[in-house]
Structure 1
Amino acid sequence: MSDLTQHLLARIEAHGPMTVADFMSEALLHPTLGYYTTRDPLGAEGDFTTAPEISQMFGELVGLALAQAWLDQGAPASFTLAELGPGRGTLMADILRATRAVPGFHAAAHIHLVEASPTLREKQRDAIKAEITHHDTVDTLPQQPLFLVANEFFDALPIRQFQRGPTGWHERLIAMRDGKLSFAFGPELPQPQLEHRLADTTQDMIVETCAPAFSVASEIGARIRDFGGAALLIDYGDWRSKGDTLQALKDHEYANPLDTPGEADITAHVDFEALAQAAPCAHSTLTPQGVFLETLGITPRAQALASRLNGDALQSHIAAHRRLTHPEEMGNLFKVLALYPENGTPPPGCTP
């Protein structure tokens, strides 16, 4: 039994069952035992691999899309170039490399990263050869034009889960049974924030909410509304939450979220409708990642890079292109939502 499991069981014994959100917060961000605060979770030796780690093409195209959005808005002389949950810094490093030739872009950009993990902050400083300002939360980002990317950030924010009953909703909780962590349900209560979900759910269905995601999207959207800019929110999920999507990844395999908290990545699918509703600015239609990347020209870029490769390197490159874009891989599972100013145009790759 892990130290964090013992800590969680002691907390439940003392205070009663905890929400799924509290469980996720402890499992991922406990100061000394949390998953993100104690390790580098990425890559072959970690538990999962993100799109920027799969191929440089992903970051290049995201960077050029943001640079074009900056140009379309008159190339503001000073702006925040931000990333939420930047991992090892690979995506931002690729963005900066791809945009070097955009006149004035680097001179105007001030790089700000929102990162909770001390371990990953160090890796980001090593990867990004530029001045960086780190933040714990989005609300401390500068009050100026904001051009932002969040790739696989919202999926790790703590969710609450509710199961529909005959007249109300039962919150799904984490309890203790036979000395182990176990799922349980609270009493049936009204949940005013879920009134709109009565039309598309039936009894016993689970709906997930994520208050932190709502707050982050609201903060980003307010910056864009007040100062201009654009945001690319890229994650797995769909337009509306439906069903139990809580999951854990350990050693690149799915695991029971309750088995090894603190030692596995715990995430949930993103409700993009909630993000769009929270942001007080315009939003694009929800675009599959594969369509987004193909629209930006990933296949010609892949062909150009392939011309310099052969053997195993070429096969790995082909596999990376497929993994990012194919509908049966990340192409349909991952979606892109863009935020941008009212009466403006969305970044390239997205449609109003």
Structure 2
Amino acid sequence: MERLDAFMARAVAAYYARQDPYGDFVTAPEISQAFGECLGVWSAVVWEGMGRPDPLVWAELGPGRGTLMSDARRAVAQVAPDFARAARVHLVEASARLRAEQAARLGGDVTWRDGVAGLPAGPAVVLANEFFDALPVRQFVRRGAGWVERFVADGVFVERGSEVALGDAPEGAVREVGEAGADVVRALMRRGGCVALMLDYGPAESGVGESLQAMRGGEAVDPLVAPGDADVTAHVDFAALAEAARGVGAAAHGPLPQGVFLQRLGLASRAAMLARADPAGAGRQLAAAQRLLAPEAMGRLFKALALCDAALPTPPGFDA
């Protein structure tokens, strides 16, 4: 028997070590190149607001196949060459298999890190797209006058007594606590001179609810069965991440619906440019942008949250 967060960490590590996750889900960078391009230009504008530090740590957490960073670097090489020269790319990736894919796509001028603690000191711009949803969570269930915690044994939940205080809630209500995500945020914001952008799915405000899920081959499966064979995730508690940042003196901006944020960054305009340049693929380019922006697709469920040193200006897209 093990606590849910320990089970989830083990399952996620095994999954990324031996599975091709892109058979089970698709992320925004794989949907449209405009996504990575917009985040690249966003990074360059943030760098300008930081006073153009050189060198700059330009990091991505959980970079998948390296698609986002590849598109971002191509964009800044064209429109922000000074930023491109100052930026030193660091990828936080634990999977050896994915590191190999990233190296094939990005070339040799990239440094890999096992975790955020390994990032070098100095000013940093950090991107994290669908990273926090894979971090482990604890679950608590309201029973009577208090809360019990969920453990996993033989593919089912087992409840054990807990002294945690999570406030009042109806009988049977579930509350998820993402300690790992908060720890990552605190580690980044304690660096000083750091701006981090998180794009992920989840509610804008903390609340009682259960979101643990697993996908295999595009279908929902039991997250407690066959750990390592499916993609196990939980919704991101953006309010808790913002609170963790403020707790160490940083500023939090958002969360905003992803569709609103990407509209402000000009993703629709960029997709239209790509469509004009490729008439045969114009429909695909515009449909991809709509998938990222539309409230009924990814535009509302996915959110954007920016965290930064309190002395730095509000990041672009959050100041409208």
Identity of aligned residues (%): 44
Q: How do 1:171-190 residues align onto structure 2 when only pairs under 5 Å count?
A: 171-176=149-154, 181-187=155-161, 189-190=162-163
Amino acid at match of 2:36: G
Match of 1:285 in 2: 254
In structure 1, runs of 5+ residues without a counterpart are 1-16
Residue identity matched to 1:21: D
Residue 143 of structure 2 is matched in structure 1 by 165
5 Å-filtered alignment, 1:282-321, equals 282-311=251-280, 313-321=281-289
Cα distance in structure 2, aligned partners of 1:308 and 1:103:
23
| Equivalent residue runs for 1:175-254 within 5 Å | 175-176=153-154, 181-187=155-161, 189-192=162-165, 194=166, 197-198=167-168, 201-223=169-191, 226=192, 228-238=193-203, 239-254=205-220
TM-score of the pair, normalised by structure 2: 0.94
Equivalences for 1:103-122 in 2 at 5 Å?
103-122=81-100
| Post-superposition offset of 1:277 | 1.4
1:172 counterpart SS class: strand
Q: Identify the match of residue 35 of structure 1 among 8, 11, 15.
A: 15
Residues in 2 aligned to 1:206 and 1:264: alpha-carbon distance in whole angstroms:
23
8 Å Cα contact 2:28/2:35 also seen in 1: yes
SS in 2 for 1:270: coil
1:256-298 per-residue CA deviation (whole Å, 9 max, x = no partner) reads 1123321110000001111111122111021010000001111
Find the structure with the greater CA-based Rg.
1
Deviations, residues 56-111 of structure 1 (Å, cap 9, x unaligned): 00001111111101011210111100000000000111111111131421221111
Q: Is the 8 A contact 1:111 1:131 kept in 2?
A: yes
> Retained in 2: the 8 A contact 1:85–1:114?
yes
In the alignment, residue 257 of structure 1 is paired with which amino acid? P
Q: Contact 1:230–1:346 (CA<8 Å) still a contact in 2?
A: no
Matched, 1:52 2:52: no
Alignment of 1:87-106 (within 5 A): 87-100=64-77, 101-106=79-84
Structure 2 stretches lacking a partner, 5+ long: none
How many residue pairs align between the two structures?
Answer: 315
Distance 2:210 2:271 in 1: 36
8 Å CA contact 1:79, 1:108 repeated in 2: yes
Whether 2:232 is the aligned partner of 1:266: answer yes
Task: Answer whether contact 1:283 1:346 (CA < 8 A) is retained.
Answer: no
Match of 1:325 among 280, 293, 306: 293
Q: Could you tell me which amino acid in structure 2 is paired with residue 172 of structure 1?
A: R
